[in-house]
Structure 1
Amino acid sequence: MEYIPDRHDFLGVPFYDTLEKCDRGKIILRGIDEKGHKIYTLSRQFSPHLVIPAIQDMWRVLEQQEDDLMIVNTLPTVNTLMKIGGFSSRRLQWVRFGRPIVIKGTQSTYMNIVKVVRQIKEKII
């Protein structure tokens, strides 16, 4: 994982830089890891103080094992270039302008994202 993906690698990810306003607040299945764990994303925007407790409460209502739910905050890996590029691409619909910026931002913080993934994998082993 020491390789930093190029723009073609990022553009090859089906959901990269595609989140729309209507997707905010939705729990979206993004894939399954090598151990069979389902990976979801949730754009919680400005309401983590409401969204996270609601998810945890619903998990308990559904009588699921608390150890089977892991909520990971990836916001610390999001840098200014990603914010500017994402805003330009998604909110302003200036995809040709914003997407290269969000790609540059993702490349510059990629190893931070890898670090988060590694830490999570260590916890679930």
Structure 2
Amino acid sequence: MIFIYNDYGGTHTTSLAAAFHLKKLPHNQPLTKEQILNVDYFNKLKTSDMGKIIFHGVDEDGHSVYTVGRGNSKIFVPGLKNLFELLQKDSHSAERIVFSNTSPTVPIAMTFGGLFSRRLGIDFIGVPLLVRGAKQASAHIEYLVEHTKERARLSDEPVLVLENTKELLYA
């Protein structure tokens, strides 16, 4: 199985989700600034990296974990879903793919932090906001990852797309 966490930029909540999925971050504990800033690709990608599917590792069950920034495109994930379904059919592959949208976990501090840091290059304002946002969102991101894994276990769809919602995370 392949897991692909996606959101607008692909560098903040997706990187944290991949790190939680791969057990690179502690379970059910507040994150420190150092833990957040040391997550692979956290706040390191540029706008030009959008659309690149980035490998983060293999989980304890042998599943590959990736992230991607999709920008504000509403057709990116459906297009990839269609492409993967075609490839699976043509190659007779049984490899399942799960797309999980991390956007509902993004707090306002992270939105502005990303704007200041990634878009405007003003790290002294952006990075503290990103850390604050990551701390606010970490429990929701961790829950989203567990929800993603559970839905993947229960589904037999060859390509599963989880849009996820704030209602799921904040219920």
What TM-score do the two structures reach when normalised by structure 2?
Answer: 0.68
For residue 37 of structure 1, report the CA deviation from its aligned partner: 1.0
Partner of 1:33: 59
Q: Is the 2:46–2:118 Cα contact (8 Å) retained in structure 1?
A: yes
Q: CA RMSD in A?
A: 1.4
| Unpaired stretches in structure 2, ≥5 consecutive residues | 1-26, 154-171
Residue among 54, 57, 67 paired with 2:79: 54
Normalized per residue, which structure has more strand? 2
Secondary structure of 2:98's counterpart equals: coil
In the alignment, structure 1 residue 104 sits paired with structure 2 residue 132: yes
Aligned amino acid, residue 100 of structure 1:
P
Aligned amino acid, residue 52 of structure 2:
K
For residue 45 of structure 1, report the CA deviation from its aligned partner: 1.4
For residue 108 of structure 1, report the CA deviation from its aligned partner: 0.7
- Aligned 1:1-125 pairs, distance under 5 A: 1-47=27-73, 49-63=74-88, 64-65=93-94, 68-125=96-153
Aligned amino acid, residue 113 of structure 1:
I
Q: Which has the higher contact order (CA 8 A, sep 6+)?
A: 2
For residue 4 of structure 1, report the CA deviation from its aligned partner: 1.1
Structure 2 CA distance for aligned equivalents of residues 96 and 33 of structure 1: 34
For residue 113 of structure 1, report the CA deviation from its aligned partner: 0.5
The count of corresponding residues between Structure 1 and Structure 2 is 123
Aligned amino acid, residue 122 of structure 1:
E
What TM-score do the two structures reach when normalised by structure 1?
Answer: 0.91
Of all paired residues, the percent bearing the same amino acid is 31
